[in-house]
Amino acid sequence: MKVVILAGGTGTRLWPLSRERYPKQLQSILGNETLLQRTYQRLRGVVQASDIFVVTGVNQAALVRAQLPELSKGTVLVEPIRRDSAGAIGFAAARVYAHYPNEILLSVHADAWIGNNKKFASLLRAAEKTLKQFPDHTLLYGVAPTYPETGYGYIQLNKKVVQQKLHPVYSVKRFIEKPSLSRATRFVSDPAYVWNPGWFAWRVDALLGLYKKYLPDHYAPLMRIAEASPSSLAAVIKKEFPKLPSVSIDTGILERTQKRIVIPTDIEWADIGHWRSVALMSKKDTHGNVVAGESVLLDSEDNFFLSSSGKLIAALGVSGMVMVETKDVILLVDKKRSQEVKSIVGELKKRSANNYL
pLDDT of residue 103: 96
pLDDT of residue 277: 86
Tens-digit pLDDT profile for residues 53-69: 999 999 999 999 999 99
SS (H, E, C) 21-88: CCCHHHCCCCCCCCHHHHHHHHHCCCCCHHHEEEEEECCCHHHHHHHCCCCCHHHEEEECCCCHHHHH
- The Cα 86–Cα 91 span in angstroms is 8
**302 alpha-carbon distance from chain centroid:** 26
pLDDT of residue 28: 85
**160 alpha-carbon distance from chain centroid:** 27
Tens-digit pLDDT profile for residues 156-181: 999 998 877 778 999 999 999 989 99
Burial class (CB in 10 A: 0-12, 13-18, 19+), 275: buried
Please tell me whether the overall predicted TM-score, pTM, comes out greater than 0.75 for this model.
yes
Alpha carbon separation from 342 to 19, 273, 334 (Å, rounded)? 11, 11, 14
Low-confidence residues of the chain: pLDDT under 50: none
Average pLDDT along the chain: 93
SS3 at position 269? strand
Q: At what angle do helices 216-226 and 233-240 cross, to 10 degrees?
A: 170
pLDDT of residue 212: 98
Domains of the chain: 2-273 (3.90.550.10), 276-356 (no CATH)
